[in-house]
Amino acid sequence: MNEILGRCPVCGEKLAVTKLECPQCGTAIEGKFELCKFCYLSKEQRDFMELFIRTRGNIREMEKELGLSYPTIRNKLDNLIAALGYKVEETPKVDKKEVLKRLEKGGITVQEALKLLKE
Over the chain (119 residues), the average pLDDT of each successive run of 10 is: 86 92 96 91 95 95 93 94 91 79 89 84
Question: CA torsion sign, 75 to 62 to 119 to 94?
Answer: positive
Which amino acid type is present at position 79?
Answer: N
Provide the CA 67 distance to its chain's centre, in angstroms.
16
Buried b (16+ CB within 10 A) or exposed e, 95-116: eeeebeeebeeeebeeeebeeb
**Crossing angle (nearest 10°) for helices 110-118 and 96-104:** 180
How far is residue 114's CA from residue 61's CA, in Å, rounded to a whole number?
18
The pLDDT of residue 102: 86
**68-76 — which CB contacts under 8 Å span 24+ positions?**
70/115, 70/118, 70/119, 71/119, 76/48
The pTM assigned to this predicted structure is 0.64
The rounded distance, in Å, linking the Cα atoms of 57 and 59 is 6
pLDDT of residue 28: 96
What per-residue confidence (pLDDT) applies to 94?
76
What is the predicted pLDDT for the residue at 79?
95
Contact call for residues 27 and 21 (beta carbons, < 8 A):
yes
Closest by CA position to 101, among listed 113, 90, 111: 113
